[in-house]
Amino acid sequence: MLEINNITKSYNKKEVLNIPSLKIDKGELIGIVGNNGAGKSTLFRLMLDLIAPDTGEIGSKGLLVNKSEDWKTYTGSYVDNTFLLGYLTPTEYLDFLGSLGNMTKEEISARVDRFKNYLGTDNLEGKKYIRNLSSGNQQKVGIVGALFNQPEFVILDEPFNFLDPTAQENTKKLLAKIHSDTETTILVSSHNLEHLLTICTRVILLENGVVIKDVKGDAAVYQEEIMSYFLKDMEDNSEE
């Protein structure tokens, strides 16, 4: 689905990402974890051709993301609220996304209905512009926007950040259901390990721009391989 080869990225002569090789297969639900500054957001922005690498290349289904536009037709993403159109209401925004996917009005309406419980009727029937919604509701609109056109490949950067506990749980269930019902490949970064480790088929741990662990398994395996890393890191820091 996606291949990374010899990718490096530096800012102000400080290297923030260095991944010699990484392959993501179709149908995986991958959690990208790491402390602040690990390189998670940089990695996602490179995958989406929002920034250019210093070296290397990223291929999506054989298409180099910085040389082609075709990969955008099957890729959905939400990195931050700059991806939203703040002067639209949530319903107008989803109508717009559906039109980009050449959906009919009936198809758009049916798709909106699928996400009605997740978004809440107040967000869909109200007249508030997206820019006037709370950060949590903006986040939910962005997540739905990334999923709306049923893309083959989805990238979500810190989707739990601004959500209350109920919305976090609903987001976890939403991603798990989409993954189980389809062959959608999903990449999610988060500081909330509890949510990621219960739904992911694979977890990649970044630290200082380098892949430290790349683990496939279940929650028990991730608890041993991933959580133990952060617990040890906390212990080491407490001793300093």
86-143 per-position pLDDT tens digit: 999 999 999 999 998 899 999 999 999 999 999 998 888 878 999 999 999 999 999 9
pTM: 0.91
The CB density around residue 203, as the number of other CB atoms within 10 Å, is 22
| pLDDT at site 219 | 73
Residue 26 DSSP code? T
| pLDDT at site 236 | 55
| pLDDT at site 234 | 52
Q: What does the domain layout of the chain look like in residue ranges?
A: 1-13+50-68, 72-184
Cα dihedral value 179, 180, 182, 188, nearest 10 = 0
In 3D space, the residue among 198, 128, 129 whose CA is nearest the CA of residue 168 turns out to be 198
φ, ψ of residue 213 to 5 degrees: the values are -140, 145
Architecture per CATH, 72-184: 3-Layer(aba) Sandwich (3.40)
User: What proportion of the chain, given as a percentage, has pLDDT over 90?
Assistant: 74
46-91 per-position pLDDT tens digit: 999 999 999 999 999 999 999 999 999 999 999 988 889 999 999 9
Instruction: Decide if pLDDT at 178 tops 80.
Output: yes
| pLDDT at site 218 | 76
| pLDDT at site 82 | 86
CA angle 48, 54, 55 (to 5 degrees): 90
Report which secondary-structure segment, H or E, holds 233.
helix 228-239
